[in-house]
């Protein structure tokens, strides 16, 4: 079996489906696989084990749901990329895919349920073959230097997105969050996890 140098977190509240996903990822060769039943527990896992390369993420669950979890980890660079796995209707999943992109998190795909081993394996290798992939253990500060960030600000590459916060059960908009993203000319939309440490370290936060 090929060993994939990937750390993967499975966020799934259904115990049987969580077990199936964990076992499938291990069978496909993932080096480290962790699991949690809701967003709060997933954050606790990440605090304990550190960043992961991929989160295989359900959307609807008791307590902190998948999207709220992704919003939180996007700010601090604890997740490298996202694979959605949900049984929600197509319209809701399409909205979720758009929100993940606005968060600046690379979206590898939306597999739905039940998981397909061949499709999942393809997404894992897609992530490994991406030239912009950064290993989970790499510190965010190493991704963007002060000069690069100053130049981006001078060229007005920093943009603000207004992201609605949606109740997945009712579809109601219950709030809004302002998110700054770096619209990089070659790398696309870049997460704050990449550039915020450099901004803070060189005193550009107010600017």
Please check whether residues 159 and 79 belong to one and the same domain: no
pLDDT for the residue numbered 161: 78
Which of these three, 114, 138, 162, is where a domain ends? 138
pLDDT for the residue numbered 138: 44
Please check whether residues 112 and 155 belong to one and the same domain: no
Of 94, 105, 48, the closest CA to residue 71 belongs to 105
All residues at 6 or more sequence positions from 102 whose CB lies less than 8 Å from its CB, including other chains? 161, 163, 179, 181, 189
Of 143, 176, 126, 135, the closest CA to residue 53 belongs to 135
CB of 88 within 8 A of CB of 63?
no
206 occurs within a structural domain: no
Please check whether residues 103 and 173 belong to one and the same domain: no
Distance CA 52, CA 115 (A): 20
If one counts the domains in the chain, the total is 2
pLDDT for the residue numbered 2: 72
Please check whether residues 17 and 118 belong to one and the same domain: yes
52 cis-preceded (ω within 30 degrees of 0): no
Please check whether residues 34 and 83 belong to one and the same domain: yes
Domain that holds residue 197: 141-201
Please check whether residues 133 and 163 belong to one and the same domain: no
92 occurs within a structural domain: yes
Please check whether residues 105 and 181 belong to one and the same domain: no
Ranges of H-type helices in the chain = 15-27, 39-49, 66-76, 90-102, 117-128, 146-154, 192-201
Please check whether residues 98 and 186 belong to one and the same domain: no
55 occurs within a structural domain: yes
207 occurs within a structural domain: no
Please check whether residues 90 and 33 belong to one and the same domain: yes
pLDDT for the residue numbered 167: 86
Task: Provide the sign of the torsion angle of the four alpha carbons 146, 148, 150, 153, taken in this order.
Answer: negative
Please check whether residues 79 and 97 belong to one and the same domain: yes
CATH number, domain with residue 116: 3.40.50.2300
Per-residue pLDDT of the chain (207 residues; tens, 9 = 90+): 577 888 999 999 899 999 999 999 999 999 899 999 998 999 899 888 888 889 999 988 888 888 888 888 876 778 888 999 887 777 888 888 888 887 778 889 898 888 889 999 999 988 887 655 555 544 443 456 777 888 888 899 888 878 788 888 888 889 888 777 788 777 666 767 677 777 777 777 778
Please check whether residues 160 and 72 belong to one and the same domain: no
pLDDT for the residue numbered 10: 95
**pTM, two decimal places:** 0.63
Which of these three, 122, 138, 154, is where a domain ends? 138
Distance CA 18, CA 37 (A): 8
pLDDT for the residue numbered 5: 84
Please check whether residues 149 and 130 belong to one and the same domain: no
Q: How many CA atoms lie within 13 A of 39 on its CB side?
A: 17
């Amino acid at each position: 079996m090929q060993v994939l140098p990937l750390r993967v977190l499975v966020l799934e509240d259904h115990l049987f489906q969580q077990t199936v996903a964990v076992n499938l990822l291990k069978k496909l060769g993932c080096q480290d696989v962790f699991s949690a039943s809701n967003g709060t527990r997933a954050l606790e896992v990440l605090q304990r084990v550190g960043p992961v390369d991929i989160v295989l993420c359900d959307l609807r669950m008791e307590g902190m749901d998948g999207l709220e979890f992704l919003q939180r980890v996007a700010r601090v660079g604890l997740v490298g990329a996202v694979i959605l796995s949900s049984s929600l209707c197509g319209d809701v999943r399409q909205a979720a895919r758009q929100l993940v992109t606005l968060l600046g998190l690379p979206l590898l795909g939306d597999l739905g349920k039940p998981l397909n081993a061949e499709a999942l394996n393809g997404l894992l290798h897609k992530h490994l073959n991406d030239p912009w992939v950064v290993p989970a253990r790499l510190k965010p500060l190493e991704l963007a230097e002060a000069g690069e960030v100053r130049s981006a600000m001078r060229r007005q590459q920093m943009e603000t997105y207004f992201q609605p916060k949606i109740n997945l059960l009712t579809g109601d908009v219950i709030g809004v969050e302002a998110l700054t993203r770096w619209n990089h000319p070659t790398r696309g939309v870049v997460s704050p996890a990449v550039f915020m440490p450099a901004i803070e370290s060189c005193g550009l936060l107010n600017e």
